A and B are shown apart, each in its own frame.
Chain A
Amino acid sequence: MKKSTAEESRSHKAQVVVDRLGKKLNRQIVGSMVACVHCGLCTDSCHYVLSNPGDPTYAPAYKADRIRKIFKRHYDWTGRVFPWLVGAKTVMTDEELEELKDISFGKCTNCRRCSLNCPMGVDFATMNRMTRGLLVSVGIMPEGVATVSKDQWELGNQMGVLKEDYLETLEWMEEELQDELDDPSAKIPVDKEDCAVVYSINPREAKYDPRTIGDAAKIFHAAGEDWTMPSDGWDMTNFGLFSGDDELGGAVARHLFDRVQELGGKKLVISECGHGYRSTRCEAPNWAKYDVPFEMESSVETMLRYVKEGRIKLDKTRNSKPVTFHDSCNLARSCGITEEPRELLNLVCTDFREMYPNREENYCCTGGGGAMSMSEYTPRRLKSGKVKAEQLKATGAKVVVTSCHNCVDGLTDVIRHYELDMEVTQLVNLVAEALVIEKPARVPTVVEDLPLAGRRIVVADDEPDQLLYLATVMEDYGATVYQAASGDEALTLVRKEKPDLVTLDLAMPGRPVTEIYEVLRSDSELEGLKICIITGRPEMRELIYQRMETPPDGYLDKPLSEDDLLRGVRKVLELSHQEV
């Protein structure tokens, strides 16, 4: 068939997007395409709009119209007959697709708040996910999305955690647990068959926040649960939800579901993660066309059930700071989980305060929709967090709890950027803290024995307060610490003192830390040197992790508590309890 003039001059990618759009349409999507009356009621529901007054390009209806106009031009005959009247317009160039990318990935977190505020029932978030999928299918996406998707395709988890690192982390957490409880029977069982519960986690837990794994294990142990973690197929997150790639979504989910079946698990418990729960529990069976034969539940429901069944006892006075709760978009607006976390919170802390608005009307943490992986949009994301910051501040709470790992990172960034006096934690941490275990936990001797004794550490940070804090903590635990205020200083000290470990802040004056890192890794005289990144700029972590050199031995997010710092440093130095 002869191509029209327009088709001939359209770029290949634009033509593919136009063609594939037709294949993505179902009745719900078409309804959302044709039903908008441009009433503008959705405008103020978007946190981007509220935080960027005067810029109408953030308005949900405006953003929706960027894809809607293509639909109307090619698939709706009113747009084909009267394109000028209904705002129908085709897409011709790759540059126009890039503009669509900027809207779809950079100006929307798919939080679905506008969908719930549309009088017509237009589900913009679903349309936007479809748009992302179309762009991803022609390779137009933020670099971070490409990287994470690749990791999930190739390594089976979205943070590229290697199997040995994951298993090592589980072993380490098991040792910590046994030590804390003074109970060698406290285990993190791996690949145990026919268990009542198979526990799946977010790779962020293995990579950056192993404390949550330890805390969950403590709770399972206290509840006497028959549980296990898979050695493979353990990632319950699914970047297909963010990238709009149903194929990736289906493949990731099938991997997890198959593993649970192979292990003969009765129930899949999904750790606290908004998108992980939504994608695994709600979307994945559709993407994978998989009739899941076992039960699935959020760990929030599991913990609450344990309390109700009398399997664990809690002492809420152990969590006495004022606490508020941030509802994850995916849990509240797409899965209806709003009351369970509140019920549990009231059981584990003494001062719970609501945030307003809340539940399905809560504002996005700014990190949803995969935004944390799109570093090019970080300034925009942080600016758009203004409304969230005001909401957090108004609670007067010192701790914000959320059942989502993306929200943990998003809120941490907002708190830091807007200088709020708050910390972020999860229910699993509060429950573990409040857990009453009959046999009193032995006071760890590691502190008395100075766990870093004999270790030589170079600490590099350009913020004097941070530098002093990190150095003091490590010195208090017995380390000999050398302080550096820049990358070059750190390099000089490392070459002179030959330490066991160097910690690097990612944003320091002078030579880029990536260059310093490259020099440290390539210097044969420093072969045994451990390197740990300690940064308050998580969006910059890819600068290191995407390099050809061996990745860092550890990574810690600022702000860091004393415990987290000690735990992280010990992990990097591979110190077991026996050694200390």
Chain B
Amino acid sequence: MSDFLHFSEHTLQEVALVFMACVYVTRIVWFLRFAAGKERQGQTGSGATSPTKGFIYSWANVAMPWAMESTRTKPSLYVQFVLFHLGVTTAIGLSFVIPYAPALLENGLLVLILQIVIGLAFLVGVRRFIRRVSDPYMRAISTPDDYFSLLLLTAWFFFAVLAVPNNSAGGEWHLLMYFWLTAFFLVYVPFSKISHYLYYPFTRFYFGRSMGYRGVYPIRRVHKAKTS
């Protein structure tokens, strides 16, 4: 391993991580400085709903594609969502495994599984980019950040697939590309839409709590066989 690759796997990542953590903390502090709206009225709805049940249901929503019409009626988009985010998680994990636990990647089966998972995410990234470019509704709501983030993530998946075996015998360029892209993301993510996961727990908490307070969440699915 060259010194440059070593630097890319360790020092570069650590500096980028610290930067990201600092920006994230700043971001959360900024967000929490806005006062949370409160409900003064009495609770509505049946006993089956409550603020607590509401926000738990809301948080669990991500794992319940049947809960919303938008995911229930578009199963392929939900599958893409799952694959894409599994790929992200795996590729992030890889950036720790390679420098700190490389021995794990001596297991050929594990390498294959990781490559399949990240490879599928890469394909989803390509599919998502095509959808964003070709669908007029998606184009109308897309910002440069939406295109840029998706393109870069897709490229990152590509290099992550190559980096999984952690083999530099044929050259280090693919590992270097993977780690430099990882570092770039760590710096870029807090400024982009990719940081949505930072807000997800908050938005779903407040929306779910409010909907629970008002008797809407958890939604009952009875008598809905024909729901579109």
Determine how close the nearest CB of chain A comes to the CB of B219; give it in whole angstroms.
6
- Residues from 186 to 228 in B contacting A, C-beta threshold 8 Å: 191-193, 196, 199-200, 202-208, 210-211, 214-216, 219-220, 223-224, 226-228
Cα–Cα distance between A43 and B37 once the two chains are bound (Å): 27
Interface residues of A (CB under 8 A from B): 25-32, 34-38, 40-45, 49, 54, 56-57, 59, 61-62, 65, 77-78, 81-82, 84-87, 115-123, 281-286, 289-292, 296, 332-339, 354, 356-361
Contact present for A38 and B143 (CB under 8 Å): yes
Cα–Cα distance between A84 and B208 once the two chains are bound (Å): 33
Interface size on B, residues (CB 8 A): 65
Given contacts A28-B36, A119-B70, whether A40 and B223 have CB atoms under 8 Å apart is no
Given contacts A77-B30, A85-B145, A286-B41, whether A121 and B204 have CB atoms under 8 Å apart is yes
Question: Out of B203, B205, B227, which one reaches A357, CB within 8 Å?
Answer: B227
Question: Out of A30, A87, A283, which one reaches B34, CB within 8 Å?
Answer: A30
Question: Out of B44, B45, B46, B228, which one reaches A356, CB within 8 Å?
Answer: B228
Considering the complex, give the chain B residue whose CB is closest to the CB of A113.
Answer: B69
Contact present for B32 and A336 (CB under 8 Å): no
Given contacts A37-B196, A54-B136, A357-B69, whether A120 and B46 have CB atoms under 8 Å apart is no
- Residues from 35 to 51 in B contacting A, C-beta threshold 8 Å: 35-42, 44-46, 49
Contact present for B206 and A27 (CB under 8 Å): yes
Contact present for A31 and B206 (CB under 8 Å): yes
B 132-174 to A, binary, CB cutoff 8 A, 1 in contact else 0: 0001111111111110100000000000000000000000000
Contact present for A335 and B58 (CB under 8 Å): no
Determine how close the nearest CB of chain B comes to the CB of A361; give it in whole angstroms.
6
Considering the complex, give the chain B residue whose CB is closest to the CB of A280.
Answer: B41
Question: Out of B40, B74, B196, B228, which one reaches A120, CB within 8 Å?
Answer: B196
Question: Out of A30, A41, A291, which one reaches B71, CB within 8 Å?
Answer: A41
Determine how close the nearest CB of chain B comes to the CB of A305; give it in whole angstroms.
14
Contact present for A336 and B140 (CB under 8 Å): no
Interface residue B16 (Cβ < 8 Å from any Cβ of A): no
Contact present for A334 and B214 (CB under 8 Å): yes
Contact present for B68 and A117 (CB under 8 Å): yes
Cα–Cα distance between A85 and B148 once the two chains are bound (Å): 9
Determine how close the nearest CB of chain B comes to the CB of A433; give it in whole angstroms.
25
Determine how close the nearest CB of chain B comes to the CB of A195; give it in whole angstroms.
20
Question: Out of A40, A49, A65, which one reaches B138, CB within 8 Å?
Answer: A40
Residue pairs across A and B with Cβ atoms less than 8 A apart, 19 shown, are A26-B36, A27-B202, A28-B37, A28-B210, A29-B37, A30-B31, A31-B31, A35-B202, A35-B203, A38-B141, A38-B143, A86-B193, A87-B144, A115-B207, A119-B68, A281-B44, A282-B214, A335-B216, A360-B216
Given contacts A61-B141, A115-B207, A360-B219, whether A292 and B199 have CB atoms under 8 Å apart is no
Q: Which 3 A-B pairs have the closest CB atoms?
A: A336-B215, A336-B45, A56-B140
Known: A28-B36, A40-B141, A282-B214. 6 other contacts (CB 8 A): A38-B143, A56-B141, A121-B203, A289-B40, A356-B224, A360-B219
A119 / chain B contacts, CB cutoff of 8 Å: 61-62, 68, 70-71, 81
Determine how close the nearest CB of chain B comes to the CB of A454; give it in whole angstroms.
53
Give the number of residue pairs across the A-B interface with Cβ within 8 Å.
Answer: 192
Cα–Cα distance between A284 and B77 once the two chains are bound (Å): 39
Question: Out of A31, A43, A339, which one reaches B46, CB within 8 Å?
Answer: A339
Question: Out of A45, A78, A120, A359, which one reaches B204, CB within 8 Å?
Answer: A120
Given contacts A121-B58, A281-B41, whether A56 and B71 have CB atoms under 8 Å apart is no
Question: Out of A27, A289, A290, which one reaches B35, CB within 8 Å?
Answer: A27
Contact present for A117 and B69 (CB under 8 Å): yes
Contact present for A27 and B40 (CB under 8 Å): no
Determine how close the nearest CB of chain B comes to the CB of A408; give it in whole angstroms.
22
Considering the complex, give the chain B residue whose CB is closest to the CB of A282.
Answer: B41
Determine how close the nearest CB of chain A comes to the CB of B72; give it in whole angstroms.
10
Contact present for A337 and B31 (CB under 8 Å): no
Contact present for A45 and B143 (CB under 8 Å): no
B62 / chain A contacts, CB cutoff of 8 Å: 119
Cα–Cα distance between A49 and B143 once the two chains are bound (Å): 20
Question: Out of A26, A44, A82, which one reaches B191, CB within 8 Å?
Answer: A82
Contact present for B200 and A121 (CB under 8 Å): yes
Given contacts A119-B61, A120-B204, A289-B40, whether A358 and B224 have CB atoms under 8 Å apart is yes
Considering the complex, give the chain A residue whose CB is closest to the CB of B210.
Answer: A28
Contact present for B44 and A337 (CB under 8 Å): yes
Cα–Cα distance between A100 and B165 once the two chains are bound (Å): 53
B192 / chain A contacts, CB cutoff of 8 Å: 78, 85-86
B216 / chain A contacts, CB cutoff of 8 Å: 116, 332-336, 360
Cα–Cα distance between A339 and B45 once the two chains are bound (Å): 10
Cα–Cα distance between A285 and B44 once the two chains are bound (Å): 13
Contact present for B70 and A41 (CB under 8 Å): yes
A57 / chain B contacts, CB cutoff of 8 Å: 140
Determine how close the nearest CB of chain A comes to the CB of B227; give it in whole angstroms.
5
Considering the complex, give the chain B residue whose CB is closest to the CB of A391.
Answer: B228
Determine how close the nearest CB of chain A comes to the CB of B132; give it in whole angstroms.
8
Contact present for B71 and A34 (CB under 8 Å): no
Contact present for A286 and B214 (CB under 8 Å): no
B44 / chain A contacts, CB cutoff of 8 Å: 281-282, 335-337
Considering the complex, give the chain A residue whose CB is closest to the CB of B221.
Answer: A359
- Residues from 1 to 50 in B contacting A, C-beta threshold 8 Å: 30-32, 34-42, 44-46, 49
Cα–Cα distance between A116 and B226 once the two chains are bound (Å): 19
